[in-house]
Amino acid sequence: MLSWFGTALAWVAGIVVLVKLFQKEGILKGILGLICMIYTYIWGWMHLKDESLNLKTWMYIWTGCIVLGIILNFMNRG
């Protein structure tokens, strides 16, 4: 349940960053971000200080969910 909630929250954060990527960089980079979400994640961290994009909260949520996912993954293995 916690794992699914974390994944869903990560998805929401990812979509918010992806929408901002589409708006800022245009359709081609947006599609690239859709295909390769790692690129969206990198782009989000690179533009963290851009106040107009307001990415900080979403990037922290996204990263937190990824870390939570890794911890839960290890706990399930153990």
Q: Closest separation between CB of residue 54 and other proteins, Å?
A: 20
- Kindly give the residue spans of alpha helices, DSSP state H, lying in the chain: 2-25, 27-35, 37-46, 56-77
Q: How many whole angstroms separate alpha carbon 49 and alpha carbon 47?
A: 5
Q: Closest separation between CB of residue 13 and other proteins, Å?
A: 9
Q: Is 68 in the site for other proteins (CB under 8 A)?
A: no
Q: Is 10 in the site for other proteins (CB under 8 A)?
A: yes
Q: How many whole angstroms separate alpha carbon 35 and alpha carbon 69?
A: 21
Q: Is 58 in the site for other proteins (CB under 8 A)?
A: no
Joined tokens for residue 26: 């245009």
The site string for other proteins over 15-54 (x = CB under 8 A, - otherwise) reads: -----------xxxx-xx-xxxxxx-xxx-xx--------
